[in-house]
């Protein structure tokens, strides 16, 4: 389903949480879809089942998934909080890129122009609030 970088500095369980969130946010895993069982995932990725259990628990406390006893884990309907988190991420990324652009000498007028261009290419029908 996906691959992890076991040599990465990031803890494996964090990587797992992020990967699964990504799949949920991008609707690859839809609401009420069943997540692969701990056993299958451990076998597929050759990682410790306890790590997967931990990642699932984390996702459950964050509200991304719910689990049914004896049946497994399923994707929760949490579109709103998911979007907020995604928005936060995008904003952070934007700040980083804009800072870099300004360092490189892009003026704020130029940036505004860029934004206007993007807006019109998106259809421009949206109100500017």
Partner 1 sequence: MIKVVNMEKSYENQLVLKGVNFTVQKGSIYGLLGSNGAGKTTLLKTVSGILTQDKGHVFIDDSPLFEQVQIKDRVVFIPDTLYFFPQYTIRQTAQFYKNIYSCWDESRFLKLNEVFEIDIDKKIHKFSKGMQRQVAFWLAMSAMPKILVLDEPLDGLDPVMRKKVKNLIVQDVAEREMTVLISSHNLREVEDICDHIGILHKGTIILEKELDDLKSDVHKVQVAFKKDVPSNLFEDLNVLYKEERGSVLLCIVRGNNTDIMSHFKTFEPDIFDMLPLTLEEIFIYEMGDAGYAIKNILV
For the chain, the distance separating the N- and C-terminal CA atoms, rounded to the nearest angstrom, is 40
Task: State in angstroms the smallest separation of the CB of 27 from partner 1.
Answer: 28
Residue carrying structure tokens 């089942």: 49
Tell me the three state secondary structure of residue 66: strand
- Cα–Cα nearest to 38, from 24, 25, 22, 49: 49
Residue closer to partner 1, measured from CB, 16 or 76: 16
73 binding partner 1? (CB under 8 A): no
Instruction: Examine residue 96 and tell whether it contacts partner 1 (CB under 8 A).
Output: no
Give the alpha-carbon dihedral of 21, 63, 89, 46, to 10 degrees.
-30
Are the C-beta atoms of 78 and 43 separated by less than 8 Å?
no
> Which stretch, 3-11, 19-27, 67-75, 80-88, contacts partner 1 (CB under 8 A)?
3-11
C-alpha pair distances (Å), 58 with each of 62, 79, 101, 121: 6, 17, 36, 39
Q: Is 57 in the site for partner 1 (CB under 8 A)?
A: no
Q: Interface with partner 1 includes 47 (CB under 8 A)? A: yes
Binding positions for partner 1, 7-46, rule CB under 8 A: 7, 9-14, 38-39, 42-43, 46
Would you count residue 85 as binding partner 1 (CB under 8 A)?
A: no
Q: Which residues bind partner 1 (CB under 8 A)?
A: 6-7, 9-14, 38-39, 42-43, 46-51, 54
């Amino acid at each position: 389903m996906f691959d992890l970088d076991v040599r990465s500095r990031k803890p494996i369980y964090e990587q797992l949480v992020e990967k699964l969130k990504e799949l949920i946010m991008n609707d690859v895993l839809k609401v009420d879809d069943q997540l692969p069982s701990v056993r299958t995932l451990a076998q597929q990725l050759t990682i410790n089942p306890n790590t997967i259990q931990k990642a699932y628990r984390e996702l459950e406390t964050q509200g991304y998934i719910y689990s049914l006893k004896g049946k497994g884990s399923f994707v929760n309907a949490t579109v709103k909080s998911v979007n907020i988190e995604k928005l936060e991420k995008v904003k952070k990324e934007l700040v980083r890129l804009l800072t870099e652009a300004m360092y490189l000498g892009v003026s704020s007028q130029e940036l505004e122009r860029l934004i206007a261009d993007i807006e019109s290419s998106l259809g421009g029908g949206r109100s500017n609030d």
